[in-house]
Amino acid sequence: MRPSFIRYGINDRPAWGALLLYGLQWLAVTGVSVIIMGKIVASLHFSESVAQLFYMQKLLFLTAMTLIIQIFFGHRLPLVVGPAVILLVGIISSGNHDFNAIYSSMAIGGMFLTALCASGLFRYVAKLFTSRVVATILILIALTITPTILKLMLTAPSPDQVGRNLLFALVLLLAMIAGDRLLRGVWRSTMLVWALVVGGLAGLVFLPSAGTIVHADLPLFSSMLTHWNIHFVWDLGLVLSFLICFLALAINDLGSIESLGKLLRPSNMERRLTRGMVVTGLSNIIAGFWGVIGLVNFSLTAGIISSNGNASRICFVPAALCLALISFMPPAIAMIWDIPAVVIGTILLYIMGLQLAAGLMVAFGSQEFTFHDAMIISVPVMISVLVSFLPTEVVATFPKTLIPVAGNGFVVGTLSVLLLEHGLLRRKEE
C-alpha cells in the first residue's frame, strides 16, 4: 500500500506533460552530480581538454545506462544514480599511481561488491558497520575531500585573483545555506541545480576566465563506445585500498535503497535490494574497465519524492535518454566545462558540509552518546588527519605495496574505527 502523500506510484506512468516535466527534474538532479564529479576527476587525470571531454562522455553514458538498468532490472525503484564520492576519495588518495592500475583496482572492487551481494554474504559484512562506524566514515570522507575543494576554489588565472575567488565562494556558499533555510518543496530539493546554474553564470560574468574549450573545433556528434582506455594492471596495495572504499560504498548503496523502501513500502524489498546492489557492482566493473569513476545510488531521492509526491520510476526514462544523447554531443559537454572551478568547489564544499552534518547526526541520534562512543569516532579521525599530513618523503619510505593503504588517510581511519569498535573499545554487552 502506497503512502497517502504519493501521487504517482512506482509503476504509474504520468500524463505526457507531467512525465516530461518530472523527467527534466530528474535530469537536472542527476546531471549536477555527474558534472561536479566528472569535472573534478577528469581534471585530476588529464590536462588536455579533449581527454577531459572524452572522460565526461563515457561517464554520462554509463550513468544513463545504469539508470535504465536499475529502474527496469535492478531495484526497480525511483532512485538517482551518480558518481560515488567515496571512489573520488580512493582516486585522490591513489596519488601518482598509474591510471590503469587505479581503474583496474576499481574494476576488482566492483567484482568484489557483485560477488558479495549476489552470494548473500553482504548481510554478514554489514554487521561490522555500526552507527559509530558509519558516522566515522561519513566524517572521514568529508575531511579527505577538503584539499581537493581548496584546490578548486583557489584555481585562478593569476595569484592576485585568488582573493576574488574566495569572496565569490563565500557569497555562493552563504546563498546556498540561505536557500536551504528559506526554500520549500521541490525548490529546496533541487537547490544544487540552481546553485550550479546561477553560480556558473555569475562566475562567467564576475570572474576572469582561466581558458575554456574552443567549441568550434568540436564535432556535433562523437561516439565513445569503441574506446576502452585501460589495460589490466595488478597493484595489491591499490586493490586493498579500493576494497575498503567499496565496503563503504556498499553501505551507502544499502542505505539509499533501504531509505526509499521504508518511504514507499514496495513489495519484494529484499529481492529489490539484492538486485540493486548487484547492478551497482556490475556498473562499477564496467566503470573500471572503461576508465571512469564508479556509480552508486543516492539517498537524496527520498527527500525529492517526499516534496513532489512523484515516485514513478518511469519518469527516469526521459532523464536517462537525455543523458545518453548528451554523451554523444561534445559541444554540449564543452558548455558544461565552462563552469568555473570555484563554483564546482563551493558546491562540493556545501555537499561535504551536509555529509559531515549527517555523520554527526548518525553519531548522536541512535542512542545515548558516551565518552567511549566519542573515542571510537575521534581517535580514527585524528589518525586519518595525521596520515593525510604525512610528508611525501616519509610516505615514500613505506613498503611499496603498503603505500596505497598506509598512506591513505581514509583507509587508515576506516581500519582504525573498525579495530576500536569491534576490538579495543567494544561494548561489554556485545
Q: What is the mean pLDDT of residues 126-146?
A: 88
Burial 99-124 (b: 16+ CB within 10 A, else e): eebbbbbbbbbbbbbbebbeeeebee
Residues 86/248, Cβ–Cβ less than 8 Å: yes
Q: Output the nine-digit C-alpha cell for 362.
A: 548518525
Q: Of 164-173, 269-278, 329-338, 417-426, which range is least confident?
A: 329-338
Q: What was the pLDDT predicted at 294?
A: 96
pLDDT at position 209 is 63
Among left, alpha and beta (phi > 0; psi -120 to 50; other), residue 14 is beta
Domain-wise residue ranges, the chain:
16-424
CA distances from 337 to 86, 340, 380, 408 (A): 23, 8, 37, 30
pLDDT at 131 over 90: no
Going by pLDDT thresholds of 50, 70 and 90, the confidence category of residue 391 is confident
Q: What is the pLDDT at residue 156? A: 76
d(CA 208, CA 65): 37
Q: What is the per-residue pLDDT across 244-270, written as a single tens digit (0 to 9) for each?
A: 999 999 998 998 898 888 888 888 889
| The predicted structure's pLDDT at residue 271 | 92
Do the beta carbons of residue 166 and residue 407 sit within 8 Å?
no
Res 332: pLDDT: 83
Confidence of residue 216 (pLDDT cuts 50, 70, 90): low
Question: Could you give the 3-state DSSP secondary structure of residue 221?
Answer: coil
Span between the terminal Cα atoms of the chain, in Å: 37
Most confidently predicted of 35-39, 62-66, 85-89, 384-388: 62-66
How far, in Å, CA of 136 to CA of 382, rounded?
Answer: 11
pLDDT of residue 416: 94
Pairing of strands 295-297, 81-83: antiparallel
363: confidence class by pLDDT, cuts 50, 70, 90: confident
The pLDDT value given to residue 360: 85
Give the model's pLDDT for residue 159. Answer: 80
Q: How far apart are the C-alpha atoms of 86 and 125, rounded to whole Å?
A: 18
Tell me the per-residue pLDDT of 301-317, one tens digit each, with 9 for 90 and over.
777 787 778 889 999 99
Residue scoring higher pLDDT (50 or 26): 26
Task: Give the pLDDT of residue 245.
Answer: 94
Q: What is the pTM of this model?
A: 0.88
Please give the single-letter amino acid code of residue 329: M
**Average pLDDT rounded to a whole number, residues 92-119:** 92
- pLDDT value at position 369? 78
Give every CB contact of residue 13 below 8 A, 6+ residues apart in sequence. Answer: 19, 312, 314
Place 366 in a pLDDT band, splitting at 50, 70 and 90. low
Least reliable range by pLDDT among 144-148, 300-304, 320-324: 300-304
pLDDT over threshold 60, residue 213: no
Q: pLDDT above 90 covers what percent of the chain?
A: 40
Q: What whole-number distance in Å separates Cα of residue 282 and Cα of residue 88? A: 18
Calpha distance 185→67 (Å, rounded): 24
pLDDT at 186 over 80: no
Higher local confidence (pLDDT), 193 or 277: 277
Mean pLDDT calculated for residue range 236-240: 93
